[in-house]
Amino acid sequence: MFDVFILQWKRLIKKPFLILMFTGLTVLFVLVMGNVQVDDSSVEVQVYSNELTDNELDEWVNRLNEDETMDFTVTSNEMAEEDIRMSNTPFALEIEGNNYHFLVGQESEHLQAVDQHVHQVFNQHQRLEEVQEEFPEREIEVEELITVEKSEGNGTQRYNTELQITVLIGMTLYFSAFTILSLQMNLLEEKRKGTWDRLIISPLKKTQIYLGDLFHYFLVGLLQIVLSFFILTNMLGVDMGTNYLPMIVIILSFTFSIVSLGILLVSIVPTPQSLQVTIPIVVTSMAMLGGAFWPIDIVENRLILFLGELMPIKHGLQSMNDVIINNYSLIDILQPIGILLLMGTLFMGIGINLMERSTRR
């Protein structure tokens, strides 16, 4: 086993370009994609009305400005339309009595959040008026029963942090899978040149040969993931927490599943050239369906969501996010770890079985 293991490492040391290239691509992609953040500055919204008096409009604006992340300012109908026409603002809010609507000139990522806030303010005001009508002799006051302390900044800051973590983990798993599968092309090269057959008839047991190769690929993938995390967390300043045990178990399980997937592909694909074409298709498809390129939450198609459940990257990425962001324990992530181990076992069993059949021929 160790002879095969050391032989594979000597081969990698002579030609380290592959692992260095994919580690460099991981760093590059995460730096580019991880620095794309949502603007966390205050959202400015122009408010006007053709029905309310100035005092009534000011009262509504004061209610709306209770949310510090949004800045509602009074303007005229003509000014709001002119600013939208000149693309100075994407939308404006018109208030009509106890109703409202938006004048939209172009799409904005903030429109939905503003709409939710305005809707909540109007609903609260309407409920207070209904209570006041029911008890006209009493003075109605709104009091806070529960005070929530925010320790992670506003929602936009939290979103930016989660985005960075997701991109970091997704790209790291994506390129580590590329590295592991690309290195396993050596197995097909050995089969084509007859080196594999000479190993089979050597004094070494088949178990030792398989374990030496598989442990080599496993350790290479593991080192790339750990190295990428170390470099990127220090460059981006992302805090991945100290919940190390669950993260280590997830990384080990994911690496095992990818090494097993490589054995399955090697047993199915006949030539190194065909495998060279197959690997980018398989790995990129896994990353796209598994949420490494975009948040899986925005996907609504049931077929795509089902296919995503079959991808090792999806379970590795989601469980790592749960551990880092939601502080999940090892017990909380037993299900995705079990799925990764099950996938790895199935891939490995089928792959080795097919390889043995081809060797007997």
pLDDT, tens digit, 9 for 90 and up, residues 170-223: 888 999 998 899 888 888 777 676 666 566 666 667 777 778 788 888 998 898
Looking at the domain that runs over 43-134, which CATH code has it been given?
Answer: 3.40.190
Full DSSP string of 125-176: HHHHHHHHHHSTTSPP----S-----SS--HHHHHHHHHHHHHHHHHHHHHH
| Tokens linked to 28 | 């590059």
Within the chain, where are the H helices? 2-14, 17-34, 54-64, 77-85, 111-134, 155-183, 185-193, 195-200, 206-236, 244-268, 272-290, 302-309, 312-325, 334-360
**Nearest-angstrom CA–CA distance, 11 and 14:** 5
For residue 72, list its beta bridge partners. 45
Name the residue among 256, 249, 218 with its Cα closest to residue 323. 249
Question: What is the phi-psi region of residue 87: left when phi exceeds 0, alpha when psi lies from -120 to 50, beta otherwise?
Answer: left
Digit-coded pLDDT (tens) for 77-96: 889 888 888 888 889 999 88
Average pLDDT over residues 29-35: 67
Average pLDDT over residues 162-176: 85
Q: Where are the domains of the chain?
A: 2-36+156-360, 43-134
**Nearest-angstrom CA–CA distance, 294 and 300:** 13
Query: DSSP assignment, residue 36?
Result: -
User: What three-state secondary structure class fits 104?
Assistant: strand
- Given a cut of 90, whether residue 281 has pLDDT beyond it is yes
Average pLDDT over residues 271-297: 87
- Given a cut of 60, whether residue 242 has pLDDT beyond it is yes
**Residue 148: pLDDT band with limits 50, 70, 90:** very low
Name the residue among 225, 266, 213, 255 with its Cα closest to residue 341. 255
Cα-flanking dihedrals φ and ψ of residue 73, to 5°? -125, 145
**Nearest-angstrom CA–CA distance, 47 and 100:** 10
Name the residue among 33, 117, 23 with its Cα closest to residue 69. 117
More confident residue, 90 or 239: 90
User: What three-state secondary structure class fits 43?
Assistant: strand
- Report the alpha-carbon angle 311-316-321, nearest 5: 130
Query: Is 187 exposed, middle or buried, given 0-12, 13-18 or 19+ CB atoms closer than 10 A?
Result: buried
Bridge-based pairing of strands 91-96 and 43-48 is parallel
